[in-house]
């Protein structure tokens, strides 16, 4: 496995011991430093405060209640340590606190991947690198479920069906070239759609327009 361009300092939070150790081994083999590997949300908060990692990789359901401890901890981390990137790695899609993460101050990136849909270790490591660099990486199924649970009102109502389709693929992390291939259109057509999206949505002028558009979409 090739070394990453920039080794990262990572805190891993996962209550399943085998999965936790597996993540640690994968990340260390890629050249990253695991500053802590914990099994609950409180320990996650403690180690983030004391070690100042580059990125947190956390499950959502952890002790003691196995509901949303990891997600609540992630929201607290983003509020108190906005420069720390956060990768949610879960078995299911949760709504609670996701809005807090998306609406938080700019700084670290945000990712949300479903465990059973991570097909390749290299893809997972690439996603970690992109989120640590300030990007947004959201599994396509997460995007579909979050958007299905919200009404297409507000600024999103101004987009055409094709523009929403392009924006959904942007939210999944696809490049313009990849979007063109998936929609069987030219890259120039994709750029035109993205230009229309940027013009129609109320984007944060202090943020990258692509990231701001994706976050607007995920907020619904």
pTM of the shown model: 0.69
**How many other CB atoms are there within 10 angstroms of residue 35's CB atom?**
17
pLDDT of residue 42: 93
Q: Residue 88 and residue 213: Cα distance in Å, rounded?
A: 20
Q: Which domains does the chain have, with CATH numbers?
A: 9-144 (3.40.50.2300), 151-219 (1.10.10.10)
Whether the CB-CB separation of 97 and 75 falls below 8 Å is answered with: yes
Q: 98, exposed or middle or buried, with CB in 10 Å at 0-12, 13-18, 19+?
A: buried
> Edge-to-edge strand order for the sheet containing 136-138?
33-38, 9-13, 55-58, 85-90, 110-114, 136-138
Mean pLDDT of 176-194: 93
Report residue 37's pLDDT band, with 50, 70 and 90 as the boundaries. very high
Residue-wise pLDDT tens digits, 94-118: 765 565 666 554 557 888 888 888 8
Report residue 183's pLDDT band, with 50, 70 and 90 as the boundaries. very high
pLDDT of residue 179: 94
Q: Please, which residues have CB within 8 angstroms of residue 125's CB and are 6 or more apart in sequence?
A: 1, 4, 26, 27, 30
Per mean pLDDT, which of 71-75, 203-207, 212-216 is the most reliable? 71-75
């Amino acid at each position: 496995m090739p070394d990453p361009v920039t080794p990262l300092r990572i805190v891993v939070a996962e209550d399943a011991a085998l999965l936790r150790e597996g993540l640690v081994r994968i990340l260390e083999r890629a050249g990253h430093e695991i500053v802590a590997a914990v099994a609950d949300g409180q320990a996650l908060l403690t180690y983030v405060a004391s070690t100042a990692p580059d990125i947190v990789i956390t499950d959502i359901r952890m002790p003691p209640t196995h509901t949303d401890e990891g997600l609540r901890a992630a929201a607290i981390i983003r509020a108190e340590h906005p420069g720390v990137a956060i990768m949610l790695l879960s078995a299911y899609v949760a709504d609670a606190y996701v809005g807090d993460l998306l609406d938080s101050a700019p700084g670290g990136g945000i990712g949300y991947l479903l465990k059973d849909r991570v097909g390749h270790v290299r893809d997972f490591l690439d996603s970690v690198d992109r989120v640590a660099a300030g990007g947004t990486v959201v599994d396509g199924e997460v995007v579909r479920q979050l958007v299905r649970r919200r009404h297409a009102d507000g600024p999103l109502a101004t987009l055409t069906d094709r523009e929403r389709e392009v924006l959904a693929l942007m939210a999944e992390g696809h490049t313009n070239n990849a979007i063109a291939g998936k929609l069987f259109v030219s890259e120039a057509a994709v750029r035109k759609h993205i230009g229309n999206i940027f013009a129609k949505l109320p984007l944060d002028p202090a943020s990258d327009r692509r990231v701001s558009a994706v976050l607007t979409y995920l907020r619904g």
